[in-house]
Amino acid sequence: MELQFFKYQGTGNDFVIIDNRQDVFPKNNTKLVAELCDRRFGIGADGLILLENDNLSDFKMVYFNADGAESSMCGNGGRCLVAFAHYLGVIEKETTFNAVDGLHHATVEGDIVNLKMIDVDKIHEKQNHSFLDTGSPHHVQLVKELKKFDVQKEGKKLRYGIYGESGSNINFVEQKQDNAFDVRTYERGVEGETFSCGTGVTAVALAMHQSGKTAANEVHIHTIGGDLTISFEKKGGKYSNIFLKGPATQVFKGTIACSI
């Protein structure tokens, strides 16, 4: 059969998005998801997202990693799905949608999507890194000369060496100004470096604030794919009103032949 799809990207983090409100996509077919995300034999993407009906909110987000496995929250993917819902006319300029980690609020203005992330009340500070969950698990580590850093080698080593098979995303960070950081991320499920990671840059902003590297409650992050802004509040050791803001745009749409 022919499957209609849309390709979106948020600061270079790219996704195949499918309108699954009629519940026709075979969600248990991990092989199909992996084939669609394959950059040589499929459409090519860091992940696949389904937009579905939801009883509690405007729509539901179902996210799969590029390896075909259903995964935890994806921040840039969430922003792209909000842009897609706006394109379809499902929402106007404001929405609440359901994801694997709960309800999310978001606003759309042009190609900029501002997405509210889950609250964070635990940041584990280790000797040379921090670990926290911003909807997905993240390791945050400061390094020198980030541009020359071997993210693939070191990310893979930490992803399996510390966190085992279930793994964690690994973020390498270099501070540029008081409230500005460069970030490169090794993503589990993709098993390689992505151009950007929404939950990752959110984790970096909170970890840098928690460790005293910045006192700002609005942090600017530069990734390979572009710039994102994270704002938040901290009260009694808990981070809340966390927002991930940046561009999310449609790249192209089409149909692809597949056997499901």
Residue 12 marked as a ligand binder: no
State yes or no: is 197 an active-site residue.
Answer: yes
Residue 192 marked as a ligand binder: no
Residue 217 marked as a ligand binder: no
Residue tagged 């799969």 (tokens): 64
Residue 20 marked as a ligand binder: no
State yes or no: is 80 an active-site residue.
Answer: no
Residue 128 marked as a ligand binder: no
Name the active-site residue from 37, 74, 80, 258: 74
Does an H or E element contain 64, and which? Answer: strand 60-65
Residues 108 and 113: their CA atoms lie apart, in Å, by: 5
- How is residue 135 annotated by DSSP? S
Residue 13 marked as a ligand binder: yes
- How is residue 166 annotated by DSSP? T
- State which amino acid sits at residue 170: I
Residue 169 marked as a ligand binder: yes
* Integer angstrom CA distances of residue 203 from 64, 95, 136, 146, 243: 20, 23, 9, 17, 12
- How is residue 138 annotated by DSSP? E
Tally Cβ neighbours within 10 Å of residue 17: 26
Name the active-site residue from 37, 80, 197, 258: 197
Residue 76 marked as a ligand binder: yes
The closest alpha carbon to 206, from 218, 196, 195, belongs to: 218
Residue 179 marked as a ligand binder: no
Strand 47-52 and strand 60-65: the pairing is antiparallel
Residues annotated as catalytic are 74, 197
Q: Which residues are annotated as a binding site?
A: 13, 65, 75-76, 169, 187-188, 198-199
Q: Which residues are annotated as a binding site for substrate?
A: 13, 65, 75-76, 169, 187-188, 198-199
